Amino acid sequence: MPEYEFRDVYVPRGVSRKAATQLLTDQAEYGHWELARTRLYPDGSRRVRLRRRIIRQLRPTW
């Protein structure tokens, strides 16, 4: 079963949808994050949870 690490990103209500999309696109492209969950609050702010897979390196046995 894959292991993931998570990052929560808070997007204030004054940020446009286009700017929020660009922010998340940059995170996905350069940080290898993927969208796990988005929550929209009544005041217009958003909380986004990003995840990326943890890749474990196995030590060689000599």
**pLDDT at residue number 55:** 85
59 domain-assigned: no
40 domain-assigned: yes
CB 24 within 8 A of CB 9: yes
- In this predicted structure, the answer to whether residue 61 has a pLDDT above a threshold of 80 is no
What value does the mean pLDDT take over residues 35-61? 91
- In this predicted structure, the answer to whether residue 11 has a pLDDT above a threshold of 90 is yes
What value does the mean pLDDT take over residues 22-37? 93
The count of structural domains within the chain is 1
42 domain-assigned: yes
Domain range enclosing 36: 4-53
13 domain-assigned: yes
Which percentage of the chain shows pLDDT scores above 70? 100
Residue 31, Cα to own-chain centre: how many angstroms?
9
What value does the mean pLDDT take over residues 26-37? 93
60 domain-assigned: no
Token pair 């079963």: residue = 1
Entry pTM: 0.78
15 domain-assigned: yes
